[in-house]
Amino acid sequence: MNDSDDGARLTRRALLGAGAGTVALSTVGTVQADGESARGLLSGRCPDATLRPSMGHCVGASMEGCADDHPVTLELREAVSETLEDRYPDAGALLEAGFKPYFDTLDGDDDGWSHWLHPEYIGDDAVLDPERPESVLVDNDSWRSIGVMFIATRDGEAISPPPAVYEVDDDDGWDGPPEDDGDHHDDSDGDGHGDHDHGDGHPHGDDDHYPHDDHDHHPDGDPDRCSPWHYHAGAPGRLAWWYYRTVYEGSYREGELAPPCRTPCMMHVWTVDHPEGVYAHGGPPPEYREREPADDPGFDTDSEPGEDELGWDVLPDEEVPDRLPESFSLADGLGL
């Protein structure tokens, strides 16, 4: 998007510049990125929205009971590894299997890894299924898969609370994907909570959980439970989810559905070593992602794994969306 576009739209350039100063919107004036006016503008119906990347813990979430050497973690990670090695080892296999890439997180950082999402797996009724991961995480240097991101959706709609991975006394190993016991609320607005209306027209969860003022603070979790689910309330994460649904699902046609206040609940399972553990929310440092490049790109391209960074520019034209993330404004994704 160039500088001649409608001044009322907050461009990617303006978004990235907001971290160091102000964001100008011609229709509402100038907003300080870290001020109350920015929070009000960016949130509206979403009290915990932030301009910068931010996350929070979903209802019932707990990292305190999670351990890399727990039998369930070991078997779940092994099941994920087998799926990636046998079916989705690299970008070429993912593209052939129907996964859709998302490279630009709009947070101003070059993370070096990308999310590949599968509309069919997001739209089915399975949750926490190693054979049907909603998203696969790919190292952009080697083009190889390095983990998965499970997304707590059933039939394409966010659910709350998401199922725990295990209770600490579940020492018999991984029993497979949890069945739907019906004890979930439709969380279609993506706020991380069930549909409890407090009279303001917006569904909220329990008062003890909503809103969260400190997105990076781990809440007091149950030490006997492993449920490492988190959501994103910051503008980059919300825009990324909105972009996926807009471009690949067509769910946000004009006037049809407001952008979510938060993403659905998500959790990672890393198959490469990670200094913060198997379920770490952030990606592993580059030295932990080093792997032999994929033997073959797996699709028609002049680029080579290990020599060229995986991105939109190396994909076949027919696999690149008509509109890339940078062509949308923050106002588009947040409904401003």
Q: Write the pLDDT tens digit of every residue in 36-49.
A: 334 444 445 788 88
Looking at residue 195, its pLDDT comes to: 39
Spatial separation of the C-alpha atoms in residues 125 and 128, rounded to whole Å:
10
Looking at residue 7, its pLDDT comes to: 33
The answer to whether the Cα torsion of 100, 106, 107, 109 is positive or negative is positive
Q: Are 49 and 238 in contact (CB under 8 A)?
A: yes
Mean pLDDT, residues 116-141? 96
Instruction: Identify the band that residue 2 occupies on the pLDDT scale cut at 50, 70 and 90.
Output: very low
Residue percentage of the chain with pLDDT more than 70 = 67
As given in the structure block, the two tokens for residue 87 are 């079916």
Q: What does DSSP assign to residue 115?
A: E
Nearest Cα neighbor of 56 from 230, 198, 315 is 230
Q: What does DSSP assign to residue 227?
A: B
| pLDDT tens per residue, range 254-280 | 545 566 789 999 999 999 999 999 999
Average pLDDT value for the chain:
76
Please work out, in degrees rounded to the nearest 5, the angle formed at the alpha carbon of residue 57 by the alpha carbons of 17 and 104: 35
Spatial separation of the C-alpha atoms in residues 61 and 186, rounded to whole Å:
17
At residue 192, does pLDDT exceed 50? Answer: no
The answer to whether the Cα torsion of 43, 111, 219, 190 is positive or negative is positive
Q: How is 80-91 classified by DSSP, letter by letter?
A: HHHHHHHT-SBH
Mean pLDDT, residues 246-260? 67
Q: Are 270 and 146 in contact (CB under 8 A)?
A: yes
Residue percentage of the chain with pLDDT more than 90 = 48
Contacts of 86 (CB under 8 A, 6+ apart): none
Instruction: Identify the band that residue 193 occupies on the pLDDT scale cut at 50, 70 and 90.
Output: very low
The H or E element spanning position 207 is: none
| pLDDT tens per residue, range 137-165 | 999 999 999 999 999 999 989 999 999 99
| pLDDT tens per residue, range 195-243 | 333 333 333 333 333 333 333 333 447 888 999 999 999 888 888 888 8
At residue 17, does pLDDT exceed 50? Answer: no
Count, residues in the chain: 336
Which regions of 127-254 does DSSP assign to beta strands (E)?
Answer: 135-139, 145-151, 153-154, 157-160, 166-167, 185-186, 196-197, 203-204, 225-226, 230-232
Looking at residue 147, its pLDDT comes to: 98
Looking at residue 136, its pLDDT comes to: 98
Q: How is 36-57 classified by DSSP, letter by letter?
A: HHHHHHHHTT-TT-BSS--EEE
Instruction: Identify the band that residue 246 occupies on the pLDDT scale cut at 50, 70 and 90.
Output: confident
Instruction: Identify the band that residue 178 occupies on the pLDDT scale cut at 50, 70 and 90.
Output: confident
Q: How many C-beta atoms lie closer than 10 Å to residue 217's C-beta?
A: 10
- AA letter at 81: S
Spatial separation of the C-alpha atoms in residues 145 and 272, rounded to whole Å:
9
Backbone angles phi, psi at 230, to 5 degrees: -135, 160
At residue 191, does pLDDT exceed 50? Answer: no
Looking at residue 266, its pLDDT comes to: 97
| pLDDT tens per residue, range 306-333 | 999 999 999 999 999 988 888 876 666 5
Its pTM stands at 0.78
Instruction: Identify the band that residue 106 occupies on the pLDDT scale cut at 50, 70 and 90.
Output: low
Spatial separation of the C-alpha atoms in residues 282 and 279, rounded to whole Å:
9
